[in-house]
Amino acid sequence: MTEDALMSSKRFLATALLLTFPVVADAQGRRAHPRRLLRILPDAAASIRTGLGYSNPEFDREDEDSLRYIHIPLDVVYNWEGGKVHPFVGAGIGAYFLQFKDNGRNVGDSEDTLGATLLGGIECFTSRTVSIKGELRYHIVSDILNGSFNPDGAAITIGLKKYF
């Protein structure tokens, strides 16, 4: 891969798999059920969550070339509760592990860097313990390849969520 080819593929939209492990607590630091979270705003709840994200978006110029992302986030999320539909917004920081691939094989050394995320979405409850969730997350990641490539991008996540 040449630097010119990489520069032409700075921006992309990727579909990502994000496994989320909510970490929530009440005012006394006890693990809380989603309906008993620390209240920040009327009908709003705050939570801290972490997880593991993976995506491998392809470049427009060649289907076999890609940039593998592994992302470990730490996010603060505000969720407005009310009825069956709960919109949410959040922001966070994370560690990113990036690897260029050419025809499915690793190219060069992998790079690890810090980044930030902005996110928002909606959670629609189908029952008290099951919801369908859609999320748009924008990754703001430090430039790699000595500043010649910007891996910023958006990820869309759609999934089924089960509360226990």
Q: What is the pLDDT of residues 67-109, one digit of tens each?
A: 888 999 999 999 888 789 999 999 999 999 999 888 888 888 8
Residue 19: name the closest of 46, 56, 45, 50 by CA: 50
Residues in the chain: 164
Q: What is the pLDDT of residue 5?
A: 36
pLDDT at 120 over 70: yes
Q: What is the pLDDT of residue 42?
A: 55
**Region 124-146 average pLDDT:** 91
102-120 burial: b if 16+ Cβ within 10 Å, else e: eeeeeeeeebeeebbbebb
Which residues is 155 bridged to in the sheet? Answer: 14, 137
Q: What backbone phi and psi angles, to 5 degrees, belong to 128?
A: -65, -25
pLDDT at 23 over 80: no
Residue 112: name the closest of 93, 96, 99 by CA: 96
Q: Which tens digits make up the pLDDT trace of 35-76?
A: 444 444 456 788 999 999 888 888 777 778 888 889 999 999
Element (H, E) at 99: strand 85-102
User: What domains lie within the chain, and their CATH numbers?
Assistant: 3-162 (2.40.160)
pTM of the predicted protein model: 0.67
Q: What is the pLDDT of residue 143?
A: 83
3-class SS at 123?
strand
